[in-house]
């Protein structure tokens, strides 16, 4: 790939607020360089109230080929796309948009299947395990459907909005036939605990679960992708738990998202997911 931006460079963007921990642009630009693609990915810091104006401007760009969407726009962006991939229809949120040459925007979400793929890579497969999922927002919704579809024996969903957790559990149970219900964020008795909330991104955040209620050997997955272990991961490790950060999920969803955008990406030679998109 020519190291310089040209008049034919295809543009991809990451849209969110904040973007201080964003790593997607580095990943995509590395893939573009390795595959000698004349493309570039940049970050677009867009506040919620400015999202409609951003979309209007972005749709005017003839060289925009795709967008990655992160907090807090995963659900808000639904109304701005022309078509939904089955993942986005099921979850009710999106995290990647493919901009077709004819001007159509197609939205999908791979947080959930990316999380499961990352867990599989790390030997933490949720199949036949009892799972506590804390957080029923955009990422949490995707993870709930993916974990249930991956064969979890029981799924309990906890959220500060109890009604949201209950509605999500009912939808997951109806669509996947998994034993899914809502409940408190009590990790006692679960084999897998997944934090899908932002708690842990800031040093003064409360814990998403009480680590004293974690049993040794519990798999604790914190989807926050930070260079240092979150307080939850540190406390869980001290309790003798297996811990996993957001890195494998980030790579897993990148595999799915890049496939959706037309690129082949296999980090560190890890196996690709089964099935197509």
Q: What phi and psi values does residue 43 have, to the nearest 5 degrees?
A: -90, 140
- Active-site choice (74, 79, 202, 204): 74
Which residues are paired to 155 by β-bridges?
A: 131, 180
55's CB contacts (< 8 A; 6+ apart) are 77, 80
Specify the pairing of strand 105-108 against strand 96-99: antiparallel
**How many Cα atoms within 13 Å fall on the side-chain side of residue 262?**
11
Tokens at 79, concatenated: 């109304």
208's CB contacts (< 8 A; 6+ apart) are 134, 135, 185, 195, 197, 199, 200, 232
Helix/strand/coil (H/E/C) assignment for every residue in 3-28: CCCCCCCEEEEEEECCCCCCCHHHHH
Residue 275 burial class via C-beta count within 10 angstroms: exposed 0-12, middle 13-18, buried 19 and up? exposed
Helix (H, G, I), strand (E, B) or coil at 203: coil
Q: Is 202 labeled as catalytic in the residue annotation?
A: no
262's CB contacts (< 8 A; 6+ apart) are 98
Specify the pairing of strand 105-108 against strand 83-84: parallel
Tokens at 107, concatenated: 């939205």
- Give just the sign of the alpha carbon dihedral 159, 170, 92, 155: positive
| Residue positions annotated with a catalytic role | 74
């Amino acid at each position: 790939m020519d190291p310089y931006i040209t008049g034919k460079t295809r543009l991809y963007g990451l849209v969110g607020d904040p973007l201080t921990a964003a790593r997607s642009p580095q990943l995509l630009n590395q893939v573009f360089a390795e595959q000698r693609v004349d493309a570039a990915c940049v970050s677009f810091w867009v506040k919620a109230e400015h999202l409609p104006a951003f979309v209007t401007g972005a749709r005017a760009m003839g060289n925009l080929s795709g967008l990655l969407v992160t907090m807090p726009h995963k659900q808000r962006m639904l109304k701005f796309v022309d078509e939904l991939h089955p993942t986005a229809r099921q979850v009710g949120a999106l995290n990647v948009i493919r901009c077709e040459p004819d001007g159509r925007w197609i939205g999908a979400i791979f947080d959930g299947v990316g999380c499961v793929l990352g867990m599989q890579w790390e030997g933490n497969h949720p199949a036949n395990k009892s799972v506590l999922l804390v957080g029923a927002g955009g990422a949490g919704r995707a993870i709930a459907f993916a974990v249930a579809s991956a064969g979890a024996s029981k799924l309990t969903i906890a959220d500060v909005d109890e009604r949201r957790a209950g509605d999500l559990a009912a939808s997951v149970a109806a669509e996947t036939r998994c034993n899914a219900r809502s409940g408190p964020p009590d990790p006692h008795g679960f084999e897998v605990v997944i934090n899908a909330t932002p708690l842990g991104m800031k040093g003064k955040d409360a814990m998403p679960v009480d680590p004293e209620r974690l049993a040794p050997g519990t798999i604790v997955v914190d989807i926050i992708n930070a260079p240092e272990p979150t307080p939850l991961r540190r406390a869980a490790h001290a309790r003798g738990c297996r811990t996993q950060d957001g890195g494998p999920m980030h790579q897993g969803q990148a595999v799915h998202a890049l496939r959706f955008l037309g690129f082949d990406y296999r980090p560190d030679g890890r196996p690709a997911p089964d099935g197509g998109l």
